[in-house]
Amino acid sequence: MDVEEVAEELYRLRPAEFVHARDAYVARARRAKDTKAEKAIAALRRPSLAAWAANRLARERQRETQQFLTLGETLREAHRTLDAEQLRAASSQRQQLITALARTAAALAGEAGLSVSDTVLREIEQTLHGVLADQDVAELWSRGRLVKAPEAAVGFPAVAPEAVPARRPPAAEAATEAAEAAGSAVTTEQPASPKKKPARGEDARRRRELERTRLHELERARQAVEEADGEVGRRERELAEARDARQAAVEKAEEAAERVRRLERELHDGRQAGQEARTASTTAGRAVTTAEQALREARRAAERAARAVQDLERAGRRSVK
């Protein structure tokens, strides 16, 4: 079984259709003794409505998708290189594109018969923000394989918070402040006043502290989600096994019923053959009786004829004398 083809088919289905179709493929792989495919397919997760709508957007609007992916590459590269001019040029398109694409995704979902609420629309926008900020999310989205909206990010981080040293020389601190000012994606450049640098440095440290706290909470939340997903996976496998057992029992019951029907037909045919044999036997018995009676009558007639011949012979001899 080609797992990639199965996944492509499943993620094109509406979310409500996903689990049933996936479990059917898992059962097929199990019957085929394809353990590797069974595990891989069972591990596929149903997408949320927002993720499904974003995936549909990536499939149905490939030109816009490619442009958006290119924008994400530009933004990520600009943050890596701290290129403020490139950041401003790319960031000016960001929110406008995200809003437009999210509405397009909602419209595509509507065409498929699914209504998108304001909450789901915000989740789609959050997903598109994640596509721009995270290369892994962008890769999954381009393949139409997102299963949920990525965690909300604070801004568009230029570097990972854990990579920021606790203390920096004044020159490095100034460079950090410039990078963070570029990361805010402002569309106009305003020269910083020397008097505001301490406040901005304090704001930067506060943001880093908040970011570290958020990442810690995020890690705990992700761990809880992974544990919940693991439990869901176990329950889904148990459900799939129970369904397989039920299906096997149904198939055995149908086979038994078919055997009963076949034996009943054979019994009916045997009874009918027996009845026909008895009828034939009765008819043959009557024919034998009739033949025996005819034989007896023929013998009596022969005896009478023989006696008549004898009488004639005796009469002839007397007349000669």
**How sure is the predictor about 80, in pLDDT bands with cuts at 50, 70 and 90?**
confident
Long-range contacts of 83-86 (CB under 8 A, 24+ apart): 83/182, 84/178, 84/181, 84/182, 84/189
Return d(Cα 180, Cα 200) in angstroms, integer.
10
Q: Residue 6's pLDDT is what?
A: 96
Report the 10 Å Cβ neighbour count for 213: 11
pTM score > 0.85 for this model? no
What DSSP state is assigned to residue 46? P
Q: Is 26 buried (19+), middle (13-18) or exposed (0-12) by CB count in 10 A?
A: buried
Return d(Cα 267, Cα 274) in angstroms, integer.
10
Return all residues near 302 (Cβ < 8 A) that are at least 6 apart. none
What is the mean predicted confidence (pLDDT) over 9-28?
96
Q: What is the CA radius of gyration of the chain?
A: 46
| In the predicted structure, residue 92 carries a pLDDT above the cut 60 | yes
Q: Residue 52's pLDDT is what?
A: 97
- Mean pLDDT for the chain? 77
End-to-end CA distance of the chain: 119
